[in-house]
Structure 1
Amino acid sequence: MTSTAFFHPIQVSLLVAISALIVVLITGLGIGWFMSRNQFKGKTTVETMLILPLVLPPTVIGFLLIMIFGNQGVVGKLVDQLFGQSVMFTVGAAIIAAIVVSFPLMYQSVKTGFQSIPNDIENAARVDGANEWKVFRYISIPLCAKSIVSGIVLSFARALGEFGATIMFAGNIPGKTQTVPTAIYVAFESNQMGLAWAWVIAIVCISFIMLFMIRKNS
């Protein structure tokens, strides 16, 4: 195997994990803050839907993504009409799968962090003239920093290690959509144990470095 073929799954995995992390961080912060600060009819149902991917088998998630984004799905047909290309079997599909499975971890972490902030602190900022954005940016976010970091670590790790939904929705195309977890699976099935070990060591090192740097700076 050439060095390019070896490193490509690593590059795809990092691209997928980082892209998914950016999306779930932004959406998780917004939705987590809203859900922690508001009560409305059907809130329990909405929250259950948000964290449902945590308990669903990856193959079920992959199946549902195919039904939604596949060639016969509503979103899939729309994307095909707009861009002339199917979402399935692309890196974009792997990113979508990673977003779906990692979002609940970010949401749960930041929501718990926001709920731990005393209301008096935020209300004091409002009394002093701060609008909701300033309260969110300068009060809520800093006080929720540890929970946000925890969500980042958990979400990145989940996205980096995603396998089941990815292999169903994005496939395992070498040089295109193959990630490290799917590459390890294929190498193991092909009895290429040396190659499998090399990818295992690579993903363990990447995960260790990220965790070490985050914990060192937290």
Structure 2
Amino acid sequence: MDFSPLWISLHTACATIGIVFFLGVVAAWWVEGLRSETLKILVDGVFTLPMVLPPTVAGFFLLFFFGNNRIVGRFFIDAFGVQIAFTWLATVLAAAVISFPLMYRSARGALAQVDKGMLEAARSLGLGEWRIFWRIHLPNALPGIISGGLLAFARGLGEFGATAMLAGNIAGKTRTLPLAVYSAVAAGDWDAAGKYVAIIVAICSAVVIGLNLYLYYCKKRQER
């Protein structure tokens, strides 16, 4: 059994969550702070769009911009000598785009539930918005933010459509676990496909159980 899809998927998911966790929280905080409801609705729609689009459509847009002969892709090649399409970087980019909305919406929901009275009290004491975020917003919203991070990690691990479009299905290079399942079934190797499926189910189950245990711990801690 080829274990390279497992390592590629884990590396991709870890890199992805490192990106979307930070960007998702910052984006959620920024959108929550917008005073224009119209602008807030529009920006929220843009950030959420990859979650409702078919992954292959999102992959099409990524390939349109980051393909080797497209605008952004050619810029990276000419300016930095870095190819994105059909490399491991493409698996990270595809997973990040697809899992970002999940992280963003979880973080925004958690931030929105923070008591506005505490925020106004902090402002009346002269604290800046950045200090309010670090001292009040983030600590109180942390359970929801971490929950979103775990779900985004699992989503990045299971990304298929956008990854296939932008990164391809190159064995030992861009073939993640979902792509390995597809390739094994297409080749009629049901034994290998079953093993890959078992690995995915085990990892995702561990994430879900870990999430539930974490939320249970947070609930018990609040009750004390």
For the residues of structure 1 that align with 2:66 and 2:28, how far apart are their CA atoms? 26
Q: Which residue of 2 aligns with 1:168?
A: 165
Match of 1:179 among 176, 193, 202: 176
For the residues of structure 1 that align with 2:17 and 2:82, how far apart are their CA atoms? 25
Q: CA deviation at 1:129?
A: 4.4
What are the superposed Cα offsets for residues 64-99 of structure 1, whole Å, 9 maximum, x if unpaired?
111100122211111010232421111100100011
For the residues of structure 1 that align with 2:94 and 2:35, how far apart are their CA atoms? 30
Q: 1:28 to 1:85 in 2, by over 3 A?
A: closer
Match of 2:35 among 33, 39, 46: 39
Over the matched positions of the two proteins, sequence identity in percent amounts to: 39
2:124 aligned with 1:127, yes or no? yes
Q: Which runs of 5+ in 2 are unaligned?
A: 216-224
What are the superposed Cα offsets for residues 140-189 of structure 1, whole Å, 9 maximum, x if unpaired?
11111221122112211211111011011101111111100000001011
Q: Which runs of 5+ in 1 are unaligned?
A: none
Q: TM-score, normalised by structure 1?
A: 0.92
Amino acid at match of 2:19: V
Amino acid at match of 1:197: G
Q: CA deviation at 1:118?
A: 1.8
Q: CA deviation at 1:102?
A: 0.6
Amino acid at match of 1:31: A
Give the total of aligned pairs: 214
1:5-24 equivalences in 2 (<5 Å): 6-24=2-20
2:21 aligned with 1:25, yes or no? yes
2:94 aligned with 1:108, yes or no? no
SS at match of 1:171: coil
2:152 aligned with 1:155, yes or no? yes
For the residues of structure 1 that align with 2:207 and 2:106, how far apart are their CA atoms? 18
Q: Which residue of 1 aligns with 2:213?
A: 216
Q: CA deviation at 1:37?
A: 1.8
Moved more, 33-42 or 134-143: 33-42
Q: TM-score, normalised by structure 2?
A: 0.90
Q: Which residue of 1 aligns with 2:58?
A: 61
Q: CA deviation at 1:207?
A: 1.6
Q: CA deviation at 1:127?
A: 3.4
Q: 1:9 to 1:42 in 2, by over 3 A?
A: same
For the residues of structure 2 that align with 1:100 and 1:148, how far apart are their CA atoms? 18
Amino acid at match of 1:120: G
